[in-house]
Structure 1
Amino acid sequence: MASEHDGPGDGRLLHLNLFMRLYGHHPAAWQREGTSVESAFDPDTFADLAVTCERGLFDAVFLADSHLSYFGGLHNSAAAMFEPLTLLSYIAAKTSRIGLIGTVSASFHDPFNAARSLASLDLLSGGRAGVNLVTSQSDAEAPLHGLPSLLPPAERYARAKEFAEVMLGLWGSYPREAVLMDKEGGDFLDPTRLRPIEHHGAAFDVRGPLNIPASAQGRPVMVQAGASPEGRDLAARYAEAIYGIGSTIEDAHDYYDDIKRRTRDHGRAEHEIVVLPGVVTVIGETMAEARDKKRHLDSLKSLDRQLAVLGGYIGMDCSRLERNDTMPDLPALEEFPGPKGRYVMMQTLSVDDDGRKVDVGTMLERISAGGGHFTTVGTPSSIADELVRWFEGRAADGFNVNASTLPEGIEEFVDLVVPELQERGVYRAAYEGATLRGHFGQTREAVTA
């Protein structure tokens, strides 16, 4: 089997990442029989998911974040009850190889404190940390930080760019070699090996080195989830992985090509960024069983709440719509004030291949499991076929797996789908490295501005 360190071309291997979420990615997953409120407060709920994924040789597990007590309605479960980096530190002690990616908002955090926390997670995990750097999307979060509202999008992305530059500078300021432990000379540290930064920008003024030395992988891996032009460019400039978008293979292919082009434009090789679109999975021993699983999950969410979810995605009041109604016209992307990535998928799913708008019932069925992400419902073999089709068609370097239910969904994926991928020769048979950057097949330790 080809090395996981191969660059693009024949022999490349598919990457897998789990989006960890309470009970599962389907919005009604928490309502199914067998879920309990106690598991929401138990860190081992998430640690066990990571252990399962490590058994499946996944590159990483990922924790999203919101600063709100609830997001998008009382009928939606939280992604987690814990601050991501704290929970990932707990998971680090329960695992040994799998990468640990947590979300940090450039709109609300201070870059030194963020860099320090992430460097600490990276060091204690042996070089397995990554950060999903976001700009945040809800004005409701702003008052929690003493702000009246979020900055306008262009200013948020400018701040995020500067935030990334500061973090990268700080992570490069304290090399491991600076720790001498010269017992004869009496010096623990060699200050001449420190590389303090002098950053004076529009948003931040930061001087001095970090106080956490570099990890085995050099620094945490940078991840982005960009859909807007500004987000894509931020990812292409700094990120080593991006959580991509695409409801269809055609849209995902266009996105993939755009990200790779932007990456080359910034003077980087295209294999230095791994494109991971989300995939929602519903697995059954037969197609009929898989469809029944999804049908049951869909039935747990009442119509009014399904319409509320749709309304949140498209920025409209959908409460009076009926299943047989035709989907309303959706404004152009540049006119939509909310999250662009989700909205692009709504635009795609609201029309059929012939360009005609679908009815509301069809739209609800399309978005029910994963909010517009590529959804594959079927047997382990059919799901593996679809993943390989996207992978070999250059619509993905791998996938951010959004299992419809947890923990069952990821256990089924690891036990049933992973062997299918290995049999097809597109997935690793064992970990070769011990760091997240190594899993991604990258050796570059620093992305400079």
Structure 2
Amino acid sequence: MVERDTRDARGARDARAAGGEQPSGERMLHLNLFMRLYGHHPAAWQRESATRESAFDPDTFVGFAQSCERGLFDAVFLADAHLATFGALHNSAAALFEPLTLLSYIAAKTERIGLIGTLSASFHDPFNAARSLASLDLISRGRAGVNLVTSQSDAEAPLHGMPALLPPAGRYARAQEFAEVMLELWQSYPHTALAMDKVGGDFIAPGEFRPVSHHGDSFDVDGVLNIPASPQGRPVLVQAGASPQGRDLAARYAEAIYGIGSTLADARDYYEDIKRRTRAHGRDESEIVVLPGVVTVIGETLAEAQDKKRHLDSLKSLDRQLEVLGGYIGMDCSALDRNDPMPELPPLDDFPGPKGRYVMMQTLSTADDGGRVAVGTMLERISAGGGHFTSVGTPSMIADELATWFHGRAADGFNVNASTLPEGIDEFVDLVVPELQERGIFRTAYEGSTLRGHFGQRRHSPAAPTEAAA
């Protein structure tokens, strides 16, 4: 967890100004909200203000999105999982709508905010996925994005008639082919094919189609998608990868990646690796936006923000906290005491679970002297965001930390994980966003109307209609 004096951040900003570097320029910070019911802190649902009625109320999520649109965010994001419970996590992450359905509802009640949903290449076929996403893209007039994942839980596999997931290499090979087929399908029906030739009597101009003929290891697809291009050309591809395969998949195809980084140093290493891989695939590094997660706890004073976090932490019993830790590191932690040193963690390559979370566990379990921190310290570090960069303080302090990461090539923006919702996002929009605007690193108005336009990237289909000011 990052909960430090921000004098270093202010000093870095002042040093840049003294050196003649403009804090703004053309590069602007991007903001995305991770929409999790009640908030990102696993105990957020245990607050007195949290109600059961809001658990599957779509207007709860509409409210989150409308607050973000008021704050000029690039997008809102929905994760996904197919299980009814999350085992040891005991949190509200299990209250999940099917993302594309809910985002279609949100699209009708918003105007500018981008809409990113998660979809698993392990459990879908590319035609239906491409069609559903293209429909959302048209419904929202070019605001759709997809976080393409491979899934990680064998417990989900029987729901889809599978005994288990493919091994990691097989999952990523399937995901790469999945992405390639989706991209081909989205290109197969350019907007120019919608001819409406009233004189000749042709509604469609089949000669404009670009039929797909794909025959690979996982998919055989012949034909044309039956949904035309949107104002942004096609949905934005997003990835969340920590393993070498995941990073390379993102660098090859994605336009945004939900990054990892508990500390500034780790985030810089991740950022540079993604940019290097992107360049190696013949792309400009600006074609992918790196968005590490940040958990925020905001107060009028640092003491107030720290009290908010302590209160949330206190709502979760020690045995539940140890269960969560055990799930993250793949060990039984039930017998540990707060004063015990953290157990030694095996190398990343030997860990069978989610790599991104585990990398953060490795970092946070290590003390400054290279030893292992106490279990109680570890629980405090992971309590709010499971290892993600956690910023606790006043709006100005939080803005300083975000600016330091942004200027220091650790982030192009952030996947904001507000510790509580809806309060946390309203506080961020009303208090932190103005601080970022004052520093000249965040927009003061939307310039475009599509998600790709918000990311400052070119439209991806030359046959799609032009988006003004994007």
**TM-score of the pair, normalised by structure 1:** 0.97
Q: Which residue of the other structure, out of 404, 420, 441, is the alignment partner of 2:456?
A: 441
1:118 and 2:133 correspond:
yes
- SS of the residue aligned with 2:260? coil
Tell me by how many angstroms 1:71 deviates: 1.4
Aligned position for 2:276: 261
Specify the alignment match of 1:5 in structure 2: none
The separation in 2 between residues aligned to 1:261 and 1:60, in whole angstroms, is 25
Per the TM alignment, residue 79 of structure 1 is displaced from its structure 2 partner at its CA by: 5.2
Q: Which residue of 2 aligns with 1:304?
A: 319
Instruction: Give me the whole-angstrom Cα distance separating, in 1, the residues matched to 2:32 and 2:312.
Output: 23
Deviation (angstroms), 1:352: 1.4
Q: Does 1:37 align with 2:58?
A: no
Alignment of 1:340-359 (within 5 A): 340-359=355-374
Q: Give the distance between the partners of 1:112 and 1:219, measured in 2 at CA.
A: 14
Q: Secondary structure at the match of 1:45?
A: helix
Is contact 2:190-2:461 (8 Å) kept? no
Measure the CA separation in 2 of the matches of 1:386 and 1:405: 20
Alpha carbons 1:20, 1:79 under 8 Å: kept: no
Work out whether residues 53 and 414 of structure 1, in 8 Å CA contact, stay in contact via their aligned partners in 2.
Answer: yes
- Cα 1:311/1:446, change in 2 over 3 Å: farther
1:283 aligned onto 2:298 = yes
Residue in 2 that maps onto 1:4: none
SS state of the match for residue 289, structure 1? helix
Q: In the TM superposition, what is the alpha-carbon distance from 1:72 to its structure 2 partner?
A: 3.2
1:10 Cα deviation after fit: 4.4
Structure 2 equivalent of residue 183 of structure 1? 198
Structure 1 counterpart of 2:330: 315
Q: Deviations over 1:55-94 (max 9, x none)?
A: 0000000000000001133722125431000000000000
Cα shift at 1:444: 4.5
CA contact (8 A) 1:168 1:446 kept: no
SS of corresponding position for 2:295: strand
Counterpart position of 2:79: 64
**Cα 1:418/1:218, change in 2 over 3 Å:** same
In the alignment, which of 430, 434, 437 is matched to residue 422 of structure 1?
437
**Residue 379 in 1 paired to residue 355 in 2?**
no
Aligned positions, number: 440
- From 271, 277, 285, the counterpart of 1:270: 285
Structure 1 match to 2:161: 146
Deviation at residue 228 of structure 1 after TM alignment: 0.1
Q: Secondary structure at the match of 2:184?
A: helix
- Is the CA contact (8 Å cut-off) linking 2:89 and 2:324 kept in structure 1? no
Distance (Å, rounded) in 2 between the aligned partners of 1:49 and 1:256? 28
Are 2:86 and 1:77 aligned?
A: no
**Structure 1 residue ranges without an equivalent (≥5):** 1-7
Q: Report the secondary structure of 1:18's partner residue.
A: strand
Matched to 2:304, the amino acid is: E
Separation in structure 2 between the aligned mates of residue 13 and residue 354 of structure 1, nearest angstrom: 37
Answering whether residue 31 of structure 2 is matched by residue 16 of structure 1, we say yes
User: In structure 2, how many angstroms separate the alpha carbons of the residues matched to 1:348 and 1:9?
Assistant: 31
Matches within 5 A, 1:98-177: 98-177=113-192
Say if 2:110 is the partner of 1:95. Answer: yes
3-state DSSP of counterpart to 2:133: helix
Q: Does 1:233 align with 2:248?
A: yes
Report SS of the residue matched to 2:87.
coil
Partner of 1:3 in structure 2?
A: none
Structure-1 separation of matches of 2:148 and 2:168: 15
Q: Is the aligned partner of 1:337 residue 2:348?
A: no
Q: What per-residue deviation string (whole Å, max 9, x for no partner) do you get for residues 228-282 of structure 1? A: 0000000000000000000000000000000000000000000000000000000
The CA distance in 1 between the partners of 2:93 and 2:300, in whole Å, is 30
Letter in 2 for 1:76: N
> Pick from 392, 412, 420: which aligns with 1:397?
412
- Give the aligned residue type for 1:149: A
Q: Read off the aligned partner of 1:117 and give its amino acid letter.
A: S
Instruction: For 2:293, give the aligned amino acid.
Output: G
Give 2:342's aligned residue: 327
Is the Cα–Cα contact under 8 Å of residues 21 and 79 in structure 1 kept in the other structure? Answer: no
Of the structure 1 ranges 436-445 and 77-86, higher mean CA displacement relative to structure 2 is found in 77-86
The percent of aligned pairs where both chains have the same amino acid is: 81
- In the alignment, what sits opposite 2:447? 432
SS in 1 for 2:341: coil
Q: Secondary structure at the match of 2:415?
A: strand
Runs of 4+ in 1 over 4 A off after TM superposition: none
In the alignment, structure 1 residue 213 sits paired with structure 2 residue 228: yes
Whole-Å Cα distance in 1 between the matches of residues 424 and 184 of structure 2? 40
- Between the aligned partners of 1:258 and 1:237, the Cα distance in structure 2 is 13
Unaligned runs of 5+ in 2: 1-22, 463-470
Q: Is the 8 A contact 2:146 2:236 kept in 1?
A: yes
Query: 2: distance between equivalents of 1:444 and 1:80?
Result: 34
Contact 1:68 1:141 in 2 (8 A): yes
Question: Partner amino acid for 2:366?
Answer: V
* Residues in 1 aligned to 2:417 and 2:24: alpha-carbon distance in whole angstroms: 27
2: distance between equivalents of 1:291 and 1:356? 26
Distance 1:327 1:11 in 2: 44
RMSD value over aligned CA atoms? 1.2
Contact 1:65 1:79 in 2 (8 A): no
- In structure 2, what is the equivalent of residue 360 of structure 1? 375
Distance 2:374 2:143 in 1: 45
Judged with a 3 Å threshold, the aligned counterparts in structure 2 of structure 1 residues 299 and 105 are, in CA distance, closer, same or farther, namely same
- C-alpha distance after superposition, 1:324-362 (max 9, x if no partner): 000000000000000000000000000112211100000
Does the CA-based 8 Å contact 1:282-1:404 persist in structure 2? yes
Q: 1:283 to 1:80 in 2, by over 3 A?
A: same
